[in-house]
Amino acid sequence: MTKASSAEQPDTGIFSRYADQAPVGDVIPFYDDGACHLFCLTPPDGSLYFPERLKATWRHLRSADLVHWEELPPALAPGGDGDPDRDGVWTGSVIRTGDQFHVFYTGHTLEGDTPQSVCHATSDDGVSWVKDPLNPISVPDVARFEGKDWRDPFVFWNEDEQCYWMLLSTRSGAHPAVSRGVVALQTSTDLAAWTEAEELYETFLTHCPECPEIFRLGDRWILGYSRFTDRRGTVYRVADNPRGPWRHFGTEGPDGMNWYAAKSLSDDTGRRIAFGWVPDRNPAPSATTGSWLWGGDLAVPRELSLGSAGQLAIRPVAELSALSGRELSYLASYGSAAWSAAGSEFTVDSPGGFGYCILNPVVPAARYTVTVTVSGGQDAAIFGLAVQTNEQLDCGVAILCYPGERRVSAVDLTAARSELANEYEKATTEYASVAEGCLPGHAFDALTLSVIVRGDVVEAFVADTVCLTYRLPTAEAGSVALLIQDGSARFTHVRGQLVGHAE
């Protein structure tokens, strides 16, 4: 399938999508015997919208180093007429017991009043799977839950309770409309017989908490899920035990609306590594179809941790450093304010005004990383950098830090000027934030920005704590810009490197 938002891309060394350019949907990560496995929902070739696009198949990737990925045969495909998964195999989870592997997944059918159910499959090698003839093994309890949402089973062994837990994404039949989205729980001692479902976590302003998971970080339990209603994206809660109560962090999640359906695994070193996807842009957006599609590019693997203040932090996995190619050389062009430069350090003084410096790569590049540490800017109104931009700063995305508010933001700089547009109405949407994060307790001094650019996909990590992910309207190569508003700062250790193959 051709990528909806840009032309076919060469291999960059970071897996984005399949060799045939099929997009990546929800990811089911699983770690076994030194290898990371990703089972990825993949839509039918050429499909864009529901219901065709969601007649998904599970495709299978494997890696020993999180850098080089091998495409294995598809694991699961939709069933035939009368099967509970005839119209799609949706998100689930993988677990191993002894020598046998189990998949629990969502079976989707467009027939009947309960279109979603939990199905089961087994494998002796983790590659070839046999569906359970007893499917479905769990169906909605319509006496207590709405019948249309019963999906995304996440199964794990709860050591404290000596039983398996299965989380489910569903909706309460009793709560007020604004809080019907709930995570339900069923338990089992043998993965065969499951208890009646009970509510584990109640949301607010969330239609259905998709792709839930529970895992441990240190001595805390973390509940993650994704939502497509209130502030779209992947969010996390924390508790002292998996029964809760589940409390909020200082921020809702470590990324914004363009990192979706993220789920994670623990490797043999104890790291918690998360995988999510960046949605494709809709080539023909409308009020019916929206601006974004389900599925897109796989985001880079990210490590989750608890920071010193007990907040959830996110950073790219260390293995990605092996992908760094030759260093990019820049020619500086100073647009405004008083700048001075020495090697890879740039100093600016711009009291009461806007200052910027354009760094034009000697060799144009569309896939690269750029890092910079900003010191002395804690009293500025705004500081940051832009990528994939130009001398006019009217394209690309700016990663902006607001020290006084302890806030970081990604802003699409594309200004779609039109003589026919109502300038007043247009001004309400131009330069609006496309991703935001907070750094409570951070001094905003000696703050490092590390940005991974892969054509139109930008993943900006700030202080190894939050990430701002966005897909630009274009994948064209661009420049880097250092930015400041009303303040002084030093931009040090400015460094750009190609990602993967040479351009």
pLDDT, average across residues 147-165: 97
Global pTM value: 0.94
pLDDT tens profile 336-347: 999 999 999 999
pLDDT, average across residues 163-183: 97
Say if residues 370 and 481 touch (Cβ distance below 8 Å).
no
pLDDT tens profile 361-399: 998 999 999 999 999 999 999 999 999 999 999 999 999
pLDDT at residue 323, as a whole number: 77
Which DSSP letter does residue 53 get? G
Q: Which CATH number fits domain 327-499: 2.60.120.560, 1.10.3720.10, 1.20.272.10, 3.40.190.10?
A: 2.60.120.560
The domain segmentation of the chain, as residue ranges, is 27-316, 327-499
Q: Determine what percent of the chain is predicted with pLDDT higher than 90.
A: 87
pLDDT at residue 3, as a whole number: 43
Helix, strand, coil % in the chain, rounded to nearest 5: 5, 55, 40
Q: What fold, for 27-316?
A: Tachylectin-2; Chain A (2.115.10)
**Helix, strand, or coil here: 191?**
coil
| Per-residue burial over 454-476, b = 16 or more CB atoms within 10 Å of its CB, e = otherwise | bbbbbbbbbbebbbbbbbbeebe
Higher pLDDT, 423 or 377: 377
Element (H, E) at 102: strand 100-108
Which two structure tokens, joined as six digits, stand for 248?
A: 């909020």
- 7/392 Cα distance (integer angstroms): 25
In this prediction, residue 417 has a pLDDT band, given cuts at 50, 70 and 90, of low
Helices (H), 31-127: none
Residue 88: name the closest of 173, 25, 30 by CA: 25
Say if residues 401 and 447 touch (Cβ distance below 8 Å).
yes
pLDDT at residue 8, as a whole number: 38
Contacts of 33-38 spanning 24+ positions with Cβ under 8 A: 34/64, 34/268, 35/62, 35/63, 35/64, 36/62, 36/63, 36/64, 36/66, 36/265, 36/267, 36/273, 37/61, 37/62, 37/94, 37/126, 38/62, 38/63, 38/69, 38/275, 38/298
Whether residue 429 is predicted with pLDDT greater than 80 in this model: the reply is: no
pLDDT tens profile 132-146: 999 999 999 999 999
